[in-house]
Amino acid sequence: MANADQKKFMAQIDANKDSIIQRLAKAVAIPSVSGDAAYRKHVFEMADWLLAELKGLGATAELKPLGKQVLDGKELELPPVILGELGNDPAKKTILVYGHFDVQPALKSDGWDTEPFELVIDEKTGRMCGRGSSDDKGPILGWLNVVEAHTQLGLEMPVNLKFCLEGMEESGSVGLDELIEAEKDKFFTGVDAVCISDNYWLGTTKPCITHGLRGIAYYKLQISGPARDLHSGVFGGVVHEPMTDLFAIMSKLVTPTGEILIPGIKDLVAPLTDEEKQRYDVMDFTLDDINGATGSNSTVSEDKAKVLMGRMRYPSLSLHGIEGAFSEPGTKTVIPAKVIGKFSLRLVPDMTPEKVNELVTKFINDEFAKLGSKNTLTLTAEHGGKPWLADPNHWNYEAAIKATETIYGVKPDLTREGGSIPVTLTFADTLNKNVLLLPMGRSDDGAHSINEKLDVSNYIEGTKLLGVYLHEVAATK
Amino acid sequence: MANADQKKFMAQIDANKDSIIQRLAKAVAIPSVSGDAAYRKHVFEMADWLLAELKGLGATAELKPLGKQVLDGKELELPPVILGELGNDPAKKTILVYGHFDVQPALKSDGWDTEPFELVIDEKTGRMCGRGSSDDKGPILGWLNVVEAHTQLGLEMPVNLKFCLEGMEESGSVGLDELIEAEKDKFFTGVDAVCISDNYWLGTTKPCITHGLRGIAYYKLQISGPARDLHSGVFGGVVHEPMTDLFAIMSKLVTPTGEILIPGIKDLVAPLTDEEKQRYDVMDFTLDDINGATGSNSTVSEDKAKVLMGRMRYPSLSLHGIEGAFSEPGTKTVIPAKVIGKFSLRLVPDMTPEKVNELVTKFINDEFAKLGSKNTLTLTAEHGGKPWLADPNHWNYEAAIKATETIYGVKPDLTREGGSIPVTLTFADTLNKNVLLLPMGRSDDGAHSINEKLDVSNYIEGTKLLGVYLHEVAATK
Three-state secondary-structure class, residue A344? strand
- Could you give the C-alpha distances from A449 to A35, A129, A308, in angstroms and in order? 15, 12, 23
Instruction: List alpha helices for B251-394, DSSP H.
Output: 265-268, 274-282, 287-294, 304-312, 353-371
Our CA angle for A292, A296, A297, nearest 5°, is: 100
User: Residue A317: enclosing H or E segment and its boundaries?
Assistant: strand A316-323
Alpha-carbon Rg for chain A, nearest whole angstrom, is 25
Q: Do A322 and B321 touch (CB under 8 A)?
A: yes
Least confident of A199-213, A397-411, A452-466: A199-213
User: Residue A86: enclosing H or E segment and its boundaries?
Assistant: strand A81-86
Q: Do A251 and B254 touch (CB under 8 A)?
A: no
Burial profile A66-76: b = 16 or more Cβ within 10 angstroms, e = fewer: beebebeeeee
Chain B residue nearest residue A420, CA to CA:
B233
B449 class by beta-carbon count within 10 Å (0-12 exposed, 13-18 middle, 19+ buried): middle
CB-closest option in B231, B256, B310 to A244: B256
Dist CA B16 CA B6 (whole Å): 15
Q: Do B311 and A234 touch (CB under 8 A)?
A: yes
Dist CA A327 CA A329 (whole Å): 7
pLDDT at residue B1, as a whole number: 52
What are the phi and psi torsion angles at A171 (to 5°)?
-130, 40
Q: Which of A210, A253, A266, A296 to mutate to test the interface with B (most CBs of B within 10 A)?
A: A296
Q: Do B331 and A235 touch (CB under 8 A)?
A: no
Tell whether omega for the bond before A122 is within 30 degrees of 0, i.e. cis: no
For B395-438, the pLDDT digits (tens) are: 999 999 999 999 999 999 999 999 888 899 999 999 999 999 99
pLDDT category at A256 given cuts 50, 70, 90 is very high
- Could you give the C-alpha distances from A240 to A33, B78, B272, in angstroms and in order? 50, 40, 23
**Top-confidence residue, B73 or A130:** A130
What are the phi and psi torsion angles at A185 (to 5°)?
-100, 10
Q: Which residues of B participate in catalysis according to the annotation?
A: 102, 169
Three-state secondary-structure class, residue B259? coil
- Could you give the C-alpha distances from B401 to A220, B193, B208, in angstroms and in order? 53, 15, 9
For A383-420, the pLDDT digits (tens) are: 788 999 999 999 999 999 999 999 999 999 999 999 88
Dist CA A295 CA A423 (whole Å): 30
Burial profile B86-120: b = 16 or more Cβ within 10 angstroms, e = fewer: bbeeeebbbbbbbbbbbbbebeeeeebebbbbebb
What are the phi and psi torsion angles at B365 (to 5°)?
-65, -40
Q: Do B323 and A320 touch (CB under 8 A)?
A: no
Residues constituting chain B: 477
Q: What is the DSSP string of B178-235?
A: HHHHHHTTTTTTT--EEEE---B-SSSSS-EEEEEE-EEEEEEEEEE-SSS-EEHHHH
CB-closest option in B214, B331, B383 to A383: B331
DSSP β-bridge partners for residue A71: A74
The tens-digit pLDDT sequence of chain B (477 residues) is: 578 999 999 999 999 999 999 999 999 999 999 988 999 999 999 999 999 999 999 999 999 999 999 877 889 999 999 999 999 999 999 999 999 999 998 999 988 999 999 999 999 999 999 999 999 999 999 999 999 999 999 999 999 999 999 999 988 899 999 999 999 999 999 999 999 999 999 888 999 999 999 999 999 999 999 998 998 998 999 999 999 999 999 999 999 999 999 999 999 999 999 988 998 998 888 899 889 888 999 999 999 999 999 999 999 999 999 999 999 988 888 999 999 999 999 999 999 999 999 999 999 999 999 999 999 999 999 878 899 999 999 999 999 999 999 999 999 999 999 988 889 999 999 999 999 999 999 988 988 888 999 999 999 999 999 999 999 999 997
Nearest-neighbour CA in chain B from A286: distance (Å): 13
Chain B residue nearest residue A254, CA to CA:
B244
A245 class by beta-carbon count within 10 Å (0-12 exposed, 13-18 middle, 19+ buried): buried
Dist CA A237 CA B254 (whole Å): 10
Architecture of domain A4-213+387-475: 3-Layer(aba) Sandwich (3.40)
Q: Which of A327, A415, A448 to mutate to test the interface with B (most CBs of B within 10 A)?
A: A327
Q: Do A255 and B244 touch (CB under 8 A)?
A: yes
pLDDT category at A155 given cuts 50, 70, 90 is very high
Dist CA B356 CA B287 (whole Å): 30
Rounded to the nearest angstrom, the gap between the alpha carbon of residue B71 and the centroid of all alpha carbons in its chain is 23
With contacts defined as CB-CB under 8 Å, which chain B residues touch A317? 236
Dist CA B466 CA B149 (whole Å): 12
Q: Which residues of A participate in catalysis according to the annotation?
A: 102, 169
Residues constituting chain A: 477
With contacts defined as CB-CB under 8 Å, which chain A residues touch B383? 331
Chain B residue nearest residue A294, CA to CA:
B226
Q: Where are the domains of chain B?
A: 4-213+387-475, 215-269+314-385
- As separate numbers, helices (DSSP H) first and strands (DSSP E) second, chain A gives 15, 20
Dist CA A444 CA A452 (whole Å): 9
Q: What is the DSSP string of B126-192?
A: TEEESTTIIIIIHHHHHHHHHHHHHHHHTPPPSSEEEEEEES-GGGT-TTHHHHHHHHTTTTTTT--
pLDDT category at A282 given cuts 50, 70, 90 is confident
Q: Which of A228, A246, A247, A343 to mutate to test the interface with B (most CBs of B within 10 A)?
A: A247
Nearest-neighbour CA in chain B from A458: distance (Å): 23
- Could you give the C-alpha distances from B229 to A325, B225, B242, B277, B333, in angstroms and in order? 20, 9, 10, 51, 10
Q: ipTM value, please give it.
A: 0.87
DSSP β-bridge partners for residue A128: A121, A454
User: Residue A215: enclosing H or E segment and its boundaries?
Assistant: strand A215-224
Q: Do B344 and A232 touch (CB under 8 A)?
A: yes
> How many interface pairs between A and B have CB atoms less than 8 angstroms apart?
287
Q: What number of other Cβ atoms are within 10 A of residue B38's Cβ?
A: 10
CB-closest option in A216, A244, A298 to B374: A298
What are the phi and psi torsion angles at B375 (to 5°)?
-75, 175
In this model, does residue A1 exceed pLDDT 60?
A: no
Q: Are A153 and A394 in contact (CB under 8 A)?
A: no
**CB within 8 A of B172, min separation 6: which ones?**
none
Q: What number of other Cβ atoms are within 10 A of residue B303's Cβ?
A: 14
pLDDT at residue A245, as a whole number: 98
pLDDT category at A477 given cuts 50, 70, 90 is confident
Dist CA A253 CA A264 (whole Å): 12
Instruction: List alpha helices for A57-175, DSSP H.
Output: 138-153
Q: Does domain A215-269+314-385 have CATH number 3.30.70.360?
A: yes
Helix, strand, coil abundance in chain B, percent, nearest 5: 40, 25, 35
With contacts defined as CB-CB under 8 Å, which chain A residues touch B225? 294, 296, 298
Task: For strands A388-389 and A208-213, give the pairing.
Answer: antiparallel
With contacts defined as CB-CB under 8 Å, which chain B residues touch A371? 256
Q: Are B300 and B291 in contact (CB under 8 A)?
A: no
Longest CA pairwise span in chain A (Å): 85
CB-closest option in A238, A248, A297 to B251: A248
Rounded to the nearest angstrom, the gap between the alpha carbon of residue B190 and the centroid of all alpha carbons in its chain is 25
With contacts defined as CB-CB under 8 Å, which chain A residues touch B248? 251, 255-256
CB-closest option in B237, B244, B420 to A256: B244
Q: What residue type is assigned to position A413 of the chain? A: D
Average pLDDT of the residues in A24-46: 96
Dist CA B134 CA B142 (whole Å): 11
Chain A residue nearest residue B344, CA to CA:
A333
Per-residue HEC secondary structure of B71-105 comes to: ECCEEEECCCEEEEEECCCCCCCEEEEEEECCECC
- Could you give the C-alpha distances from A147 to A157, A308, A325, in angstroms and in order? 7, 36, 57
Dist CA A29 CA A38 (whole Å): 16
pLDDT at residue B73, as a whole number: 81
With contacts defined as CB-CB under 8 Å, which chain A residues touch B418? 233-238
Instruction: List alpha helices for A57-137, DSSP H.
Output: none
